[in-house]
Structure 1
């Protein structure tokens, strides 16, 4: 499965897909180096046009009822599903992931939109009768205005729809900035949504570099909310820029998710979940398993199983239907991970280097490292690639202490057959999400967000609407 012709695209503003023009960027396949297409690098003036288009569309969109906006979101979700086969080769080519992973991502993104369409008839305020004699009170949810949605390259569509769903349902309009290396799927999605009935200007897309387009968008006085997913350093920069004008901000940042495997766990299932949770999307996920702590008494069995699974994974270009692990997205990401492995010590049980015969892209073998230094880069930094460190621990106290000894607090996992252990760990781990005896699947029904250097604010669930609306109090005094 591959794209047939080179893609050429400019920004998508006010319902119009603009042609390639001005300064443009070449997008290349991370697995082959082949040219995928060319995209216009938007300017600050393009950002201003997009924000103005979103502001002009806001009044009409916000005046629609929730049910009417829900119908439009539902139509967009259906159109999205109908175009998955068209979008798959574009996503594979620009991001590098496998065909299977691309389809999983696209279907999940459409499901997220459908989830928010389904919430459209359940949004309500609060009424309080007789707060004083003859006085009634209620709260209203009001949309914020123009939302800047800034997303990274690892999951271009799911991370975008995490923002579009609640933003659209609440009545906001959006200017989206995809990562500079993965613009094409997002630009095509905007066309599909417009064709499905999304009014012009409700969604605009401005591709380009973060230092130009991203900063212009975050600082624009017409933007009232910034929803950002990306690295912690960039997120902190976004937060600082958004302080001017007191913009609302939600930040979904980096993670270094721990998994704890106890001696009473189903070890076969736990080892499988550890490998899947680490190597899915070539390990390039914020909610990947990035640190594994195993009770000493069962460690050898788990370590052997995880290493064996890593060795069996078939590495190859994303468009090869037999590939189970695609390339890393950029040369820089691979170099960072290679440095982290080299500086961390420990025993390499699987992988550790670049696979033979795949010199055209940014490939790295799925790697398992036993007992790297506990203050090493693999323990303290976010490892954004297919490398899993494993440590033996003597008991639950040590496992919880090490799991929490991280600047990050995004997700976590526990495998045990003890209800008491599960309840304790769920309460004591410093993170926004804990899976117990479960693969690391994110549910649209549940709020998702991190602690510490992993950001703040919630996506998913009805709670996400709190971050895309303002709650206004209304007091009415009756004539007595």
Structure 2
């Protein structure tokens, strides 16, 4: 059985209970982890609080060196970690390696920023005599990171990286179905010399462990990546304590393909952006609006490319020219996607490709493209967290932008066009935290990442994320004259 990591030590749950870990490609239980509870949260937070006393005063260059040492240790064990990720999450091994490298890049990025936290100096006007002011930036304290199942490493890194670089300590709560790779990464960081209590990982049910972390009085910063209902609950329980909160939540990202677009490039970007990781990505392309002039060409090319996917165990390779797609992470996610598909079909949508039930073991869902779905059907109004893509025909830019914004979500968006007027409109008018132009949806470590409306609050990635793990304090020095 894998163990939680508290204060640098591998430990079981205080209750002695365990949770099984299931391979979503085979439905077999292959490992277990501690089923933590409030007592375990108390222990993890206490360890992080004690470690904060020293870590917060550690020289920034030393913090950076500790992060880099951990990165190097994880890189040495890349295949082992990626293998765990494939087995517990379901994604193909090549995608797991890609996620791991994205995690390492992000950690390196924040290691580089650790020594570049700058205050502000100003001369102040005063009737009380000469004075000057300083704004100093201090670490917040104990932080909590709540991580989902779709990108367990990357989305852990967006919390651990800036927290540690800023001088905070952290307790990570991975998803109940995907804790193993995260635990191994934390172990490797400690094997590389990270001080005990700085980086803790506790496993258990989100409703109990997640809420215990979010409401703990010694946790001053909570970062969540998850669904909109979970984000709403976080605001309810953590808000009254005035904690620093960021919540990167669901998305229903629109894509607009204009008449002047490079259709082949648009199809490639949307195909990868929707079906990568079996469509389990908050910033995936989820609603596509294609102009009449290029609609038929677009659909013909898209269907051809989607037809190359082959469902199978992520630890195995597909035969060329097929592309291996793994399963969804759990049966309940497959069931939700099936319900969304059936709702659309029952209201007149047509299947362009896919849509058939998978036979045999594993939580697989066939890559599916829909046409003519009503815009108030579930595939348009809800987040479709899997390989299900509705495509809509539009006649002009006004219609495209109106439909793109006809959503409660506002995470990502994209346009395929070389018309600078439409690029400008997209940047100004689409209600989303991010807009890509002629590019697939990808979260860059160097740019702030987050959404508007029901897609969340706050930003991860970039220097903005580092700032969100720091408190500003104004200091006035007078009595100089």
Aligned equivalent of 1:375: 376
Whether 1:350 aligns to 2:337 is no
Give matches, 1:52-451, under 5 Å: 52-132=46-126, 134-322=130-318, 324-345=324-345, 346-356=349-359, 359-451=360-452
Whether 1:456 aligns to 2:434 is no
Aligned residues of 1:131 and 1:137 also touching (Cα < 8 A):
no
Compute the TM-score of the two structures, normalised by the length of structure 1: 0.96
4+ long deviations beyond 3 Å: 130-133
Aligned equivalent of 1:4: none
Aligned equivalent of 1:14: 7
Aligned equivalent of 1:5: none
Compute the TM-score of the two structures, normalised by the length of structure 2: 0.96
- 1:321 is paired with a residue whose SS is coil
In structure 2, distance between residues paired with 1:400 and 1:125: 41
User: Over residues 172-192 of structure 1, what are the superposed CA-to-partner deviations in whole Å (9 max), with x where a residue is unaligned?
Assistant: 100110001111111111110
In structure 2, distance between residues paired with 1:403 and 1:109: 31
Aligned residues of 2:131 and 2:480 also touching (Cα < 8 A):
no
User: Over residues 61-82 of structure 1, what are the superposed CA-to-partner deviations in whole Å (9 max), with x where a residue is unaligned?
Assistant: 0001222211111112222212
For this pair of structures, how many residues does the alignment match? 471
Aligned residues of 2:174 and 2:203 also touching (Cα < 8 A):
yes
- 2:240 is paired with a residue whose SS is coil
- 1:378 is paired with a residue whose SS is helix
Whether 1:466 aligns to 2:457 is no
In structure 2, distance between residues paired with 1:144 and 1:36: 39
In structure 1, distance between residues paired with 2:114 and 2:47: 25
In structure 2, distance between residues paired with 1:371 and 1:58: 55
Unaligned runs of 5+ in 2: none
In structure 1, distance between residues paired with 2:39 and 2:245: 23
Per-residue deviation at 1:378?
0.6
In structure 2, distance between residues paired with 1:386 and 1:185: 24
In structure 2, distance between residues paired with 1:131 and 1:85: 60
Aligned equivalent of 2:476: 475
Unaligned runs of 5+ in 1: 1-7
Aligned residues of 2:48 and 2:198 also touching (Cα < 8 A):
yes
- 1:423 is paired with a residue whose SS is helix
